Chain A
Amino acid sequence: QQQVKQSPQSLIVQKGGISIINCAYENTAFDYFPWYQQFPGKGPALLIAIRPDVSEKKEGRFTISFNKSAKQFSLHIMDSQPGDSATYFCAVARGAGNKLTFGGGTRVLVKP
């Protein structure tokens, strides 16, 4: 049972371009939707997160768009930089203190 489907699996974008990663979830009880960034050999680092009471959240070059009715959320990386090259994971959770269920990950490569 795959609760979170993430796409694409990999993405190549030119420096300055926009990276877009999508996630779809099944359970409407989820109420927390974070994105994590992971560099090789490192732990996942919390990048940005959204709750279902808003449709968009922006932090610097990173934006989450949330579509509650479609049960989808996406990460937009504006003005992508080579330093953004990493694997990005979406995740979902139901309630504070509860487990995160991760998507399969998207490997992003930003070409200079």
Chain B
Amino acid sequence: EPEVTQTPSHQVTQMGQEVILRCVPISNHLYFYWYRQILGQKVEFLVSFYNNEISEKSEIFDDQFSVERPDGSNFTLKIRSTKLEDSAMYFCASSRLAGGYEQYFGPGTRLTVT
């Protein structure tokens, strides 16, 4: 069964450094998303992406964040200058175009900012 994959599984970085989180969505999916989950809390929407542009972004997704689909398979989230409060699990998700309600999540990247 196709799965969303994410790398790395755990990333430790120092405050102020740039990080890039990588995702490979399910191959025939066309909607892509990033969510985050601070430890013990609910899952929060960051951004959605379709047709090579951002469809919607939350107030969390400020100028420090960017997304890119550099090729036909990868979808990346970049945080330009990490803050302590960026420490969280980051989940990538994808969904199909036609009737694409169902969103399938990857295993997540745990980002720790020290």
Contacts and interface: CB of A to CB of B under 8 A. Distances in A.
Most buried by A among B35, B91, B103: B103
A45 B108 CA distance: 12
Interface residues of A, number: 24
Nearest to A32: B101
Interface residues of B, number: 27
B107 A42 contact: yes
Interface of A: 32, 34, 36, 41-46, 49, 51, 89, 91, 93, 96-105
Contacts of B4: 43
A102 B107 CA distance: 17
Interface stretch (B40-48, B66-74, B78-86): B40-48
Given A43-B106, A97-B97, A104 B48 contact: no
